Structure 1
Amino acid sequence: MIEASGFREAMSLLTTAVNVVTTNGDTGRHGFTASAVCSVTDTPPTLLVCMNQASRSHSHFIDNKTLSVNVLGAQHQQLSNVFASRLSSAERFAHGAWTELSTGAPVLEDALVSFDCEIEHIQEVGTHSVLMCRVVAIKPPESPSGQDESLVYFNRAYHYVGQVELV
């Protein structure tokens, strides 16, 4: 049998993008840092987001049925830590500049890219909820030059991935 600690240790070697996932609704704005985000299909455009059911903001995402996935760049390491901390939602959103697209979920203005989504299906698996999210709007990168570096998490530390195009 595989122990949880052994599984977590092995998963620490799976490089993942760092995202801030947000929602907005009757109970206010909420967000968390997530690495468990991936594409499901492009027809219709769908993302999968995993969220711990014990999270303070879990019920807000479930009730609102909307979210935005904000893909972080190298300059957002502190923002990632803020949204992973025990700060209140108001304190978290005091960091960064926010706007919105179709659903009203907060979108980070300088994210590498943001996906605005409606949550269509929720599946509970162990300690987490798996959210199947239909993408209804995309905020593309501000600088299409390819010079941005992506913030990734590997072996329990932040790293930067990307390359500057040479002319």
Structure 2
Amino acid sequence: MLQKQEYDVLHDTVSTFDERQVADALKTAMRQLASGVAVISTDQGGAWHGMTATSVISLSMDPPSVLVCINRTATIHGPLMEAGAFCINFLSGTQEEVCTVFSSKSRRGERFADGLWKVGPSHLPYHPLAVANIFCAVDQVHEYGTHSVVLSRVRHVTEGMSEKRSPMIYLDGRFIQP
């Protein structure tokens, strides 16, 4: 395993750490941070693609922009980069099945099969029962580690068609109600 050295401020020494151990510890620590859950959707030449994501961040209001991180091995990566546009569908607490379908490789064929998906701005698929839909145009892409960090301009925002609902929250490997 790759060993790296790090300066230990508390003990004024140089220590050795194992990147795999640090990655495992980071994963455990990050599971303690509650996250909203979204489905990222795009249209590449008439074919819809999507994935579940918790790495969605509001970046700026001037210009209106968001940041999403997408693993370069994800099946949506190439289509999203080619399309240059996507929709962030923030799921409600009642949409656990949507989340499950978009998280499962074995259920990839079911992702848009519920009949509820609509076509929105820029011909992007969106789920009208989501808490909100944010339609984005890719502005910049930075590769870091296994992921592409996608900085995007927000072009249109809608709120879900039905009454206000609580968002889906993911914490420590499970969904919780706010």
Which deviates the most, 89-98 or 56-65? Answer: 89-98
Partners of 1:35 and 1:113 in 2: CA distance: 15
Q: Does 1:62 align with 2:81?
A: yes
Question: Which residue identity does 2:172 align to in structure 1?
Answer: N
- How many aligned positions are there? 159
Show CA shifts across 1:105-150 (max 9, x none). 1110111000011011101110111111111111123345x4x111
The counterpart of 2:41, out of the listed 22, 35, 41, is 22
User: Do the aligned partners of 2:64 and 2:153 also contact (CA within 8 Å) in 1?
Assistant: yes
Inter-partner Cα distance in structure 2 for 1:93 and 1:131: 23
How far did 1:10 drift?
A: 0.5
Aligned-partner residue type, residue 93 of structure 2: A
Given the two structures, how large is their TM-score scaled by the length of structure 1? 0.89
RMSD in angstroms over aligned alpha carbons?
A: 1.6
Partner of 1:81: 100
Deviation for aligned residue 1:27: 6.1
Q: Which has the larger Rg? A: 2
Deviations 1:46-99 (A, max 9, x none): 010111111122111111111000000011011101000014654210035111
Query: Which structure 1 segments of 5+ residues have no match?
Result: 162-167
The answer to whether the Cα contact below 8 Å between 2:34 and 2:170 also exists between their aligned partners in 1 is yes
Moved over 3 A (4+): 87-90
Query: More deviation in 95-104 or 78-87?
Result: 95-104
State the TM-score, normalizing by the size of structure 2: 0.84
